[in-house]
Structure 1
Amino acid sequence: MGLALQGHHGSFVVPCKRVDDGSASINELWKQLRLQVVEELLRFFQMDIWKQQDFPDHSTFGMLLSGITVLADWIASSEAFFGGDIPDWHQAKQKNFEVLALQFLDQVGLSGKKPINAEMTEEDSFLRFWRHLHLPSLRPLQALCEQIARSEKTGGLAIIEAPMGEGKSEAGIYLLNCWVAGSGGDGMYVALPTAATANQMYSRVQELLSNQGTEKGLRLVHGMAWLLDLQKQYWEEDEREDWFRPKKRALLAPYGVGTVDQAMLAAMRVKFGCLRLLGLAGKGLLIDEVHAYDTYMNTIIDQLLAWCGHLSIPVVLLSATLPVKRRKQLLEAYGGDVIEGAVNQQYPLVTVAVDAKTCEFPVLPSRPNQEYNLRMLPGALENAEAIVNAVLDWADAHDSGCAGVVVNTVYMAQQVFRKLKKLHRKGRLPSDVELLLYHARFTAGRRKAIEDKVLRWLDKGSLQDPARRPKRAVLVATQVVEQSLDIDFDVLFTELAPIDLLLQRIGRLWRHERPRRLNHAESKANVSIFAPEIAERFYWGKTGAVYEPLVLLKTLAVLQKRNQFQLPQDFRPLIESVYDDEIANVPDEWLYSLASVREEYRKNQVEQQQRARESLYPKPLKSELAVTPIFAVNEEVSEGEVSSHLHAVTRIGSETRSVLAVPKDEWERVGQGLVSHEQLHHWMKYHVSLPEKWLSGCELPALKPYRQWSVMPMHPGSPSFWEGTSKGGNVIRIEYDDELGFRLGKEEPNATSL
């Protein structure tokens, strides 16, 4: 208990053994002081004398006690609570602060209100839960989740595997809320892979809660949430209403939508990580696109699931492309034991683990198989000229349609878009073709505008309003389009990627049931894949720095034998043929390349697992609160900071630095002195994360008093630009415009995806 209470300072530092110097007087004084404190607490709270209790799960008790202590300490120290000077406890007693405390908890949403759908009956069906969507009927997956919710009242872990467009999100949220209600909890956290997908999901959950009358308790939780929160301007909110805004207590909000990183931090050795676990306790956790993470992130997610299992937190995981082996790992992580079986190859599939019992429920897809024509283009991977020529051939043959061109790096996306734009100006690409570039290296304000335009063009709303969808368009994009965005292409061009991610991209092709595909005589959707030259040794270029070459090689081996496939029928065979441990699909002449990439893959897996484990709390144990040997904790990476060995990071890869690319005249006019809250809020539209190596150790001015934020003053021009000097004395130039985004002045390739 002492260790748990000590954690309220932010870390579990193993106490040193007290050296008994034989001074009886000191030991007696210390004993008397402790007894005095206990007596004072008993008198103040009018309690009977405390009796020692035994706890069936020491890890659960210890972490929750530590989290509650932090929460109580922070509330009692808050000016928002007391409205002025903080009194001592005798004054608090006299001023009836117990009533004020209850009012405060109710105001910020911690009073234990009923969860949505708390009174689940036969009449309160899935359709009633989602009544604002006006669904005509249930899809098979949704009907199955309704049955599971009625048979398993308190819940456990559910893994929902189904194709894109089957209503997984609605099914998962419904099931999770039924389980939360059945277990007596309230609230949920919906975790997504990126801030962009979180923003889109936030609107959907906000609409749900609004129709359920509980919208006030919803928070958007990611690094840029305070800029994009749709409820109010951040600085205009009442401090009590906005009590959950600081990142360390954001998960305490009854309902949250954000990035998976925020949930992962609950299992990591960061300051006040116990508070994040407390925030998840008593509510449910949904993780979307659970296939989309690397070994490093999966190691952390597994540990998070272990703590969720111990805390009886209901969890729902969603994926369209989850390998069987990974499904089994997730089940074992949550349950704590080796799962026998759990190798069902059927698809779609819902797997439920409750009270150490695992059940698998195959389900029919709602739509018949869709056939896809597959065309491999060897030598076109990272070849902007070949990619552009393929798009031109399509444009020449079709006088209508919306094409998606998905590449693996921002650099390649910019190169392809620039060439298409040049041909567009010259008339080689018809003038009625609209062009748009979408990646993560725009300023925050511009990226949001582009995202809105993409959705206006290509989302389901264009079914009801066809004028929103261009007659002819080409969207050049990176991986930002492959996860959780409900958009629909008429034709798809994509660089080679791991099979599960390729299938995610293909899931944006003919996604919506449009009355007709304009001028499409073919009965199948067409996919062109830009592959490397087929050779004894493969050159993967920058794509090999973004994705594991072994997975790329096995994906290529599977796809080169096909000229078509059917989905969802082929989902499982395609994924398993790449992610199993066999090499039967790899041609003999590729074995030399296979041997080298297999060894590199194995080393990378071990390194990523080891690095992740260094930042994790130990696995929960029923017998003790096992936090040893933890002598210190890591800080979280704040916006504007560069990650280092002193920080716990939820993702690894190319280091980035968050900067504010403020126009130079604005910076000189406003930024030299103290920057107000309102000004900082205004400048957040200039936020961007850039590769750290671009800046080469350059010193950037910091905002006062917000010194975690670096400013990159942009000189006016077309494009605008910033120049600095590296530690080595070299001049660095970074350019920006709203059409291409940020780029190095020398146009050097960079292996940063997204």
Structure 2
Amino acid sequence: MDLNLFWAKKSRGIDGSAKWLSLCQHLLDTKFVIGMLYNHYLSEHQRQIIENAIDGDDAKKIVEFVGITHDLGKATPAFQMKKSYQGLQDLDENIVEKLFMHGLVPDDYMDLLSSSNRSPHALAGESLLKKFGVNNDVGSIIGGHHGKPIEYEDDCNDINDFSENYYYEINSKNNIHIKWADLQKEIFDWAMDEVGYDDVEDIPGIKSITAQVIIEGLLIMADWIASNDNYFPLFDEDQDTCDYEARMHEGWLKWFGNDSWNPEYNHDSNKYYQENFGFSPREFQDRIFKAIDKSQNLGIMIVEAGMGMGKTEVALSSVEQLSQKSKCNGMFYCLPTQATTNAMFYRVYNWLTKVSARNGDEMDIQLVHGKASLNDKFADLPHNADIGESRDEGVMVNQWFTGNKTAILDSFVVGTIDQLLLLALRKKHLALRHLGFSGKVVVIDESHGFDSYMQTYLCRALQWLGKYHIPVVILSATLPAQKRAEFINSYLDKHTKESKIYNDLAYPLVSYSDGDEVKLIDDFVPVKKSTEIEVKPFMGDENDLLNKTKNLLSDGGICGIVVNTVKRAQVLSRKFIEAFGEENVEVFHASFLDTDRSKKEKRLLSEIGKGKNENRPKLKIVIGTQVLEQSLDIDFDVMFTDLAPIDLILQRVGRLHRHADNNDKRPNKLKNPQLYVLSMNSDYEYESGASFVYGDFLLMRTQYFLPSKINLPNSISNLVQKVYDFSIPIQVDAEINEKYVSAQEDYEVKINSKKVAASTYTLKNYSDMQDSLIGWLNNDSKESNGNKHSYGDEGLAQVRDGEDTIEVIMVKRGSESGYCLLGDSNNDISGLIADGNYKKIKELAQNTIKLPRIFSKVYNIEHTIDLLEEFNRQNLSNWQLQPFLKGSLGIILDSNNQFKLDDYTLTYDSNIGLMIE
């Protein structure tokens, strides 16, 4: 029988004509693509995982077999009788008429089988393969190629429960039933022959789950590429064959960007650092470089070192070393926030440019977070779809990889930690994410900043990375030993209680696994340049703080004030602006327009950043929240901070007397670094915002162990371990101890509840997997949280703890019906937006801000979004027609910079931020 009888795809062409593609042609396309991906996209590391899982056979053959059989389930009445979505009635009728002419449907056939949706073609394909004798380890890959493997092996009984979907006629002796069965077997035999198998028993098993997941991800990727008619065009209605060689050659070249990266680096650490970073390595960096070179099978490496010691350079050099050793072909570098990720993107780009020039390779790079498209550096990179064969820059963006689910598949990716945590979230198309991570060295920066909820996902992700034998580099300045041990144990998938992992207080400290052995580098030459900081409790109120600051800054100076909540920062900023003048006070927190926050960040870096002492102002007060401790390389002469957990205080104090180049410019009163800690008192009662954010337990332990002097970096590890080693008691009177015990109980309940909440959707423990992907994603998390609104990045909220937030684009009323950007009230942009002006639309899209959390509580988030959507329908409806704006919500401030929302008034001040009454 004609194997081109069945269809795989139907669509309407640009000219309106009907297009189709035969099933066998699509299967051949996918076989070719997956084979090419195996050769040219997979890293040698990934190919080795697959080869090790195949018993004495050509691994590529089983991969191509999966490609050529993936849509076998379309050779069923349930699929072939489907009508096209675009109403191609003539084409639908022609296809059914051919089936009728070949005796595959009866004279009185129904247009559509009533139960056809019970046999989706991925499940049908797996069921047919099982019938033909293919084992679950291969069949489950076919069943999951649309994102989710079947939940239970019994699901393959679908072929018996709904046999009319497979054979049209239930009676196995019926001629139509027999013809369907024969044709399905004929396609299966044809597929085996195309790959090179003589019999089903020749199809080897795939022994490891990791290999199955990689092949599953590769199949999804190949199917998506082969299904893109820009690469592999559909046929005209009367066409059923093509020039196969030309089709494959042209289709692949249209998609393919660059061959896999094969790193070659200078094994002389001094030359490597000079070539790539422009300086010689410190002893700390040199020792790590040489340890990696000597390692046999380095798995996970945790680098604990002080701020400014060059951990980023350690990570980037390690990527190149470990990629060569492990035969990986890329990197994923992740950080906690979009701001820190954006800052790191520039550094990675500069390093990658030098690597590209040195190796003569063209490198693809991706920035992955919710606003990556608005990052100027990323947006300005050439895109290979735009520049054809003329490639002037060595680093570019491959456009195919810029989608939400494909960006992680590119070679070099800088993104937020969410992208890594999603590796452990049961969600459709998870195999694609595993495919992306299983060939890259992974760097996790600022790893101290994850709560127990995120830690649960991170540890499960590390377990799977360990099973893939992917090198992982973890960086932190302030890492509790318990977390250090959790990271190592998760990666090695064991629960060692080796005291050296928990108790080593050396600093810097490098812990790494070489095979199953955990090694330490804890004998670095002591840091010569240390900073001793005087720690002074400050008991006064806001007025006392103001007076103290006036006294300290009587001869000028740069003062940092870090508090725990936005509201507290705003209250203080009003007082300080009134006392010192708007020009001398900078406020920095999360409740600013993204554009204003970016301007503030650049201004701070230009005035008090590294190497900027010629611009350093005589007087400056910076009032901010935790965002000051995360990414800004700035230098204060004196600092006040709200009490916070010790690791965060140390991060904050890392900005105090940070740059020695400024020492000669510091006023005499501030020549010695001084840290004033607010909210500390003898009865251990704390400011409500601090208690809410951090809980009293860690605050009490921090206050108890906080010394009168901190030596940076030498005190860091000792202080962090004391506070976070809960077996070390605090000695307080009975009344305080009662409060302490209660706070500890609250803390433990909160930690456990976070772990339980996270585990609801966490990927299975590797050891709980059977011999196939069946059930891999059971109890799959929903695509949205159940709300009727689909607002924000679906899925990301599930790997971060906390309430939902609502982000809006903020503009100001410029005329009766128009609007303008804040700070540019003379230029009405509403007409340009309506006309689709790309530049202005992109500029507008950057003016986002998160609304106060009072609007996004569980009990009122739906109501808030209803109000905003109604406002947008009436005032900003054309936004939904524009790129970068579709799905966005906007608010328009009045002439007083105010907006009424429900029973509240929002007021925006470019100096103080968004306020609510």
Letter of the structure 1 residue corresponding to residue 717 of structure 2: R
Displacement of 1:299 in angstroms is 0.5
- Cα deviation digits, residues 583-618 of structure 1 (max 9, x gap): 522412411211211111111111100111112110
2:204 matched residue in structure 1 = 53
Letter of the structure 2 residue corresponding to residue 36 of structure 1: E
Structure 1 residues 452 and 44, CA, compared in 2 at 3 Å: closer, same or farther? farther
Instruction: State which of 385, 407, 412 in structure 1 corresponds to 2:543.
Output: 385
Letter of the structure 2 residue corresponding to residue 360 of structure 1: L
1:172 matched residue in structure 2 = 315
1:326 matched residue in structure 2 = 483
- Cα deviation digits, residues 691-723 of structure 1 (max 9, x gap): 3423642221354247863423223324x1221
Letter of the structure 2 residue corresponding to residue 146 of structure 1: F
Of 305-314 and 96-105, deviating more is 96-105
- Structure-2 separation of matches of 1:677 and 1:36: 53
Of 645-654 and 663-672, deviating more is 663-672
Instruction: State which of 571, 592, 597 in structure 1 corresponds to 2:716.
Output: 571
- Cα deviation digits, residues 432-481 of structure 1 (max 9, x gap): x722111122122222111111221222231xxx3222222111111112
Q: Is the 8 A contact 1:297 1:612 kept in 2?
A: yes
**TM score, norm. by length of structure 2:** 0.72
Structure 1 residues 609 and 84, CA, compared in 2 at 3 Å: closer, same or farther? same
Displacement of 1:237 in angstroms is 8.1
Instruction: State which of 258, 261, 275 in structure 1 corresponds to 2:418.
Output: 261
Structure 1 residues 531 and 34, CA, compared in 2 at 3 Å: closer, same or farther? farther
Question: Are residue 734 (structure 1) and residue 906 (structure 2) matched?
Answer: yes
- Structure-1 separation of matches of 2:191 and 2:364: 33
Letter of the structure 1 residue corresponding to residue 292 of structure 2: A
Displacement of 1:735 in angstroms is 1.5
Letter of the structure 2 residue corresponding to residue 321 of structure 1: T
Structure 1 residues 586 and 82, CA, compared in 2 at 3 Å: closer, same or farther? farther
Structure 1 residues 39 and 717, CA, compared in 2 at 3 Å: closer, same or farther? same
Structure 1 residues 418 and 613, CA, compared in 2 at 3 Å: closer, same or farther? same
Question: Are residue 700 (structure 1) and residue 848 (structure 2) matched?
Answer: no
Q: Counterpart of 1:257 in 2: which secondary structure?
A: strand
Q: Is the 8 A contact 1:458 1:469 kept in 2?
A: yes
Displacement of 1:386 in angstroms is 4.0
1:428 matched residue in structure 2 = none
Q: Is the 8 A contact 1:226 1:234 kept in 2?
A: no
Structure 1 residues 73 and 519, CA, compared in 2 at 3 Å: closer, same or farther? same
CA RMSD of aligned residues (A): 3.2
Instruction: State which of 482, 499, 505 in structure 1 corresponds to 2:629.
Output: 482
Instruction: State which of 274, 282, 301 in structure 2 corresponds to 1:158.
Output: 301
Displacement of 1:233 in angstroms is 5.1
Q: Is the 8 A contact 1:660 1:709 kept in 2?
A: no
Structure 1 residues 169 and 92, CA, compared in 2 at 3 Å: closer, same or farther? farther
- Structure-1 separation of matches of 2:249 and 2:868: 49
Q: Is the 8 A contact 1:435 1:473 kept in 2?
A: yes
Question: Are residue 286 (structure 1) and residue 443 (structure 2) matched?
Answer: yes
Displacement of 1:160 in angstroms is 0.3
- Structure-1 separation of matches of 2:651 and 2:237: 57
Instruction: State which of 250, 260, 272 in structure 2 corresponds to 1:112.
Output: 260
Question: Are residue 11 (structure 1) and residue 158 (structure 2) matched?
Answer: no
1:750 matched residue in structure 2 = none
- Which residues of 2 match residues 216-227 of structure 1 at below 5 A? 216-227=363-374
- Which residues of 2 match residues 422-501 of structure 1 at below 5 A? 422-425=578-581, 434-462=584-612, 466-501=613-648
Structure 1 residues 30 and 154, CA, compared in 2 at 3 Å: closer, same or farther? farther
- Structure-1 separation of matches of 2:687 and 2:237: 65
Letter of the structure 2 residue corresponding to residue 210 of structure 1: T
Structure 1 residues 84 and 421, CA, compared in 2 at 3 Å: closer, same or farther? farther
- Structure-1 separation of matches of 2:207 and 2:216: 17
Structure 1 residues 311 and 660, CA, compared in 2 at 3 Å: closer, same or farther? same
Q: Counterpart of 1:461 in 2: which secondary structure?
A: coil
1:728 matched residue in structure 2 = none
1:299 matched residue in structure 2 = 456
Instruction: State which of 709, 717, 729 in structure 1 corresponds to 2:895.
Output: 717
Letter of the structure 1 residue corresponding to residue 293 of structure 2: R
Q: Counterpart of 1:467 in 2: which secondary structure?
A: coil
Instruction: State which of 333, 351, 355 in structure 2 corresponds to 1:212.
Output: 355
- Which residues of 2 match residues 256-655 of structure 1 at below 5 A? 256-341=413-498, 342-343=501-502, 344-362=504-522, 363-378=524-539, 380=540, 383-396=541-554, 399-425=555-581, 434-462=584-612, 466-514=613-661, 516-520=664-668, 524-535=672-683, 538-559=685-706, 562-588=707-733, 589-621=735-767, 623-625=770-772, 627-628=775-776, 630-635=778-783, 642=791, 649-655=798-804
- Cα deviation digits, residues 643-700 of structure 1 (max 9, x gap): 7998752212242112111334238945997967666423212112223423642221
Structure 1 residues 610 and 671, CA, compared in 2 at 3 Å: closer, same or farther? farther
Q: Is the 8 A contact 1:270 1:636 kept in 2?
A: no
- Structure of larger gyration radius: 2
Q: Counterpart of 1:269 in 2: which secondary structure?
A: coil
Letter of the structure 2 residue corresponding to residue 471 of structure 1: K
Displacement of 1:32 in angstroms is 3.6
2:277 matched residue in structure 1 = 133
Structure 1 residues 580 and 693, CA, compared in 2 at 3 Å: closer, same or farther? same
- Structure-2 separation of matches of 1:134 and 1:198: 23
- Structure-2 separation of matches of 1:517 and 1:345: 35
Q: Is the 8 A contact 1:494 1:529 kept in 2?
A: yes
Displacement of 1:308 in angstroms is 0.4
Q: Counterpart of 1:388 in 2: which secondary structure?
A: helix
Letter of the structure 2 residue corresponding to residue 732 of structure 1: Y
2:11 matched residue in structure 1 = none
Question: Are residue 183 (structure 1) and residue 326 (structure 2) matched?
Answer: yes
Letter of the structure 2 residue corresponding to residue 64 of structure 1: I
Displacement of 1:162 in angstroms is 0.8
Q: Is the 8 A contact 1:404 1:491 kept in 2?
A: yes
Q: Is the 8 A contact 1:455 1:487 kept in 2?
A: yes
Structure 1 residues 555 and 485, CA, compared in 2 at 3 Å: closer, same or farther? same
Of 546-555 and 654-663, deviating more is 654-663
Displacement of 1:568 in angstroms is 2.1
- Cα deviation digits, residues 25-76 of structure 1 (max 9, x gap): 5886665454333334345556766633233422x02221221111112212
Question: Are residue 74 (structure 1) and residue 224 (structure 2) matched?
Answer: yes
2:60 matched residue in structure 1 = none
- Which residues of 2 match residues 675-690 of structure 1 at below 5 A? 680-690=841-851
Structure 1 runs not aligned, ≥5 long:
426-430, 726-730, 747-754
Q: Is the 8 A contact 1:77 1:86 kept in 2?
A: no
Q: Counterpart of 1:582 in 2: which secondary structure?
A: coil
- Cα deviation digits, residues 261-299 of structure 1 (max 9, x gap): 111112111232221111111111000111111000011
2:187 matched residue in structure 1 = 37
Displacement of 1:550 in angstroms is 0.8
Of 575-584 and 142-151, deviating more is 575-584
**TM score, norm. by length of structure 1:** 0.87
Of 665-674 and 302-311, deviating more is 665-674
Structure 2 runs not aligned, ≥5 long:
1-137, 162-169, 387-396, 821-828, 873-878
Aligned length in residues? 713
Q: Is the 8 A contact 2:679 2:687 kept in 1?
A: no
Structure 1 residues 629 and 131, CA, compared in 2 at 3 Å: closer, same or farther? closer
Which structure would you say has the larger RCO, counting Cα contacts within 8 Å and 6 or more residues apart? 1
Structure 1 residues 533 and 13, CA, compared in 2 at 3 Å: closer, same or farther? farther
- Structure-1 separation of matches of 2:310 and 2:895: 47
Structure 1 residues 262 and 481, CA, compared in 2 at 3 Å: closer, same or farther? same
Displacement of 1:553 in angstroms is 1.1
Structure 1 residues 122 and 673, CA, compared in 2 at 3 Å: closer, same or farther? closer
Percent of matched pairs sharing the same residue: 27
Displacement of 1:216 in angstroms is 4.3
Of 324-333 and 174-183, deviating more is 174-183
Q: Counterpart of 1:70 in 2: which secondary structure?
A: helix
- Cα deviation digits, residues 145-168 of structure 1 (max 9, x gap): 111121125531000011111111
Q: Is the 8 A contact 1:636 1:648 kept in 2?
A: no
Displacement of 1:632 in angstroms is 3.2
- Structure-2 separation of matches of 1:90 and 1:120: 51
